[in-house]
Structure 1
Amino acid sequence: MASGWVNDDAVNEQINSTIEDAVARARGELPHGESLHECEECGEPIPEARRKAIPGVRLCIACQQNKDSKNKTHAGYNRRGSKDSQLR
């Protein structure tokens, strides 16, 4: 298969870098530290079961759902993609 200026593994490298970026972004959003007793957004109490299940939790369930719905719209643009894939 003619591939122009890219090596044979370019598609796999692009897929792998997209996955690595997504994993790094997800790991960066994981809570860390000591869990709060009250939500840092709205001040509502965070249930003990949630604090035990997610160490370092900082948001109540409603605020976390709101944050997750806003973050869902990530474009997924691969900065490492070839010029041809960026033109599509």
Structure 2
Amino acid sequence: NAIDALEEYNYERTFEDIKASPSQITIFTSLKEVSLEERGKGEEISPQFAHHQFLPSSRVVIRIADNGPGISPTLQSQIFDPFFT
């Protein structure tokens, strides 16, 4: 499942604890589930996570990239619609 795949990824660097609400964490599990569903058979996914913490601000920016084919132009306008999958 998506959580197991995420846990298998080895990070070379450790980060400070980041406080987040369950709804904020859900985006990570959703991204992982979609990437696993959309990959072709036999294809590997290569997620890249970058953590940028700007001090003294309490904000954290997290960028996630992958090697997938991307979202088709016809669907791009819908990705922020509630319940779009």
- Structure 1 length-normalised TM: 0.31
Q: Quick check: which one's strand share is greater? A: 2
Q: Which has the larger radius of gyration?
A: 1
Q: Quick check: which one's helix share is greater? A: 1
- Structure 2 length-normalised TM: 0.31
Q: Quick one: higher RCO (CA 8 Å, sep 6+), 1 or 2?
A: 1
